[in-house]
Amino acid sequence: MIIKQTTEQASNSTQPLMIPSIDVLLDVQPKPKVQFTLHGHYQHLVHAAIETLRFYAPRDSSYWGCFSGGKDSCVIKHLAKLAGVAVNWHYAITTLDPPEQTAFIKRYHPDVQRDKPHKTFLEWMQTKGVPTRRIRWCCDKLKESCSPDGCRLLMGIRAQESPRRAKTWQTLTQLHGRRTGEVVSPILHWHADDVWRFIKQHQLPYCKLYDQGYTRTGCVLCPMAGPDGHARDLKRYPSMCRQIEKAAKSFWNRRKSQGAIGRSYSAFANADEFWQWWISDGPIPGKPHHCQGQLEFWS
Ligand code: SF4
């Protein structure tokens, strides 16, 4: 997904909020007032998120809501309800979804449409190999390609999650390149504490993985989970992990036999060594910077 920054509309953690009065600007019927007993910065964040949702709400259609089943998704879904905006919620099945996450969505969010990909994660791995922290082709192929071009997406992106997100995303971000459309991120400037405070305050249900050591949800063996997350998934989902291992090794062996092994892949003597490196997110043999793990893979 290629994105281009647009004018920032929401506050950051230090500046006063600049969201205009939406009802005046858009000349729409006033929405029901949302009652809160809040104080300080958190209060600003909640009100800014609601105003943002109303300000950018499509006039003649609905938002395309991207719902992952994670804590941030739960928050934006409830905020959209409070804002009174129309959203069609979608969950992009990746086929490596943790069963607890799938069960949570089915039970607590039955209104979310579950979109199946035309190819499974493991099928994509036959041609794309393993995803890495630098090249997350899986998001593009399995999640972002579900929505139609030109629609206005609603996402629970937060700048705190990575420096890249902080630098790249805006409250309204224009998509360019292979896909067109816009992404609205009403909780871009929220911290994890704000998210949990909102969940507790509104008594929102959340996936039980968060009570079992997970700070984020995502696919089994997601490259963003790091070595600790991988170790946890290997124990918790041994069968799914064996399938991923098999697909990764099969890709490596096939490329090797075709003589098509790239510069980064050829750093490993065999498929086992490659797999152990990917799981550990450790240094690549022969690479100069031994602290970046998977980030060095394509450098
Ligand atoms: S959650 Fe992780 S593994 Fe799943 S699509 Fe996103 S980056 Fe890829």
- Least confident segment among 63-77, 111-125, 222-236, 273-287: 273-287
| 243 and 174 assigned to the same domain | no
Phi, psi of 181 (to 5 degrees): 135, -170
| 78 and 198 assigned to the same domain | yes
Structure confidence by residue, pLDDT tens digits, 37-89: 455 899 999 999 999 999 999 999 999 999 999 999 999 999 999 999 999 99
- Asked if residue 215 is part of any domain, the answer here is no
Residue nearest to atom 6 of ligand 1 (CA): 139
166 Ramachandran zone, left/alpha/beta (phi>0; psi -120 to 50): alpha
| 49 and 179 assigned to the same domain | yes
| 198 and 278 assigned to the same domain | no
| 143 and 191 assigned to the same domain | yes
Q: Closest Cα partner for 49 from 18, 23, 22, 76?
A: 76
Collapsing DSSP to helix, strand or coil, 3 comes out as strand
| 253 and 186 assigned to the same domain | no
- Asked if residue 292 is part of any domain, the answer here is no
- Count of structural domains within the chain: 2
Find the CATH number of the domain harbouring 146: 3.40.50.620
pLDDT at 298 over 50: no
Instruction: Tell me how far the alpha carbon of residue 99 lies from the centroid of ligand 1, in angstroms.
Output: 15
* Pocket residue to mutate for ligand 1, from 68, 119, 139, 162, most atoms within 8 A of Cβ: 139
| 199 and 257 assigned to the same domain | no
- Asked if residue 296 is part of any domain, the answer here is no
* Pocket residue to mutate for ligand 1, from 143, 144, 295, most atoms within 8 A of Cβ: 143
Q: What pLDDT does residue 204 have?
A: 98
Stretch 121-127: mean pLDDT = 95
Q: Residue 218 CA: which ligand 1 atom is closest?
A: 1
Please tell me the distance from the alpha carbon of residue 139 to that of residue 144, in angstroms, as a whole number: 6
Q: What pLDDT does residue 117 have?
A: 93
| 82 and 165 assigned to the same domain | yes
Please tell me the distance from the alpha carbon of residue 220 to that of residue 79, in angstroms, as a whole number: 28
Q: 59 lies in which domain range?
A: 2-208
The alpha carbon of residue 26 and the mean position of all alpha carbons in its chain are separated, in whole angstroms, by: 30
| 71 and 138 assigned to the same domain | yes
Strand order in the sheet with 2-5: 2-5, 172-176, 181-184, 152-154, 63-66, 87-92, 113-115
Give the pocket of ligand 1 (CB within 6 Å).
94, 131, 136, 138-139, 142-143, 218-219, 222, 224
What are the Cα distances from residue 165, in Å, to 3, 116, 144?
Answer: 11, 27, 16
Give the confidence band of 286 by pLDDT, cuts at 50, 70, 90: low
Instruction: Tell me how far the alpha carbon of residue 218 lies from the centroid of ligand 1, in angstroms.
Output: 6
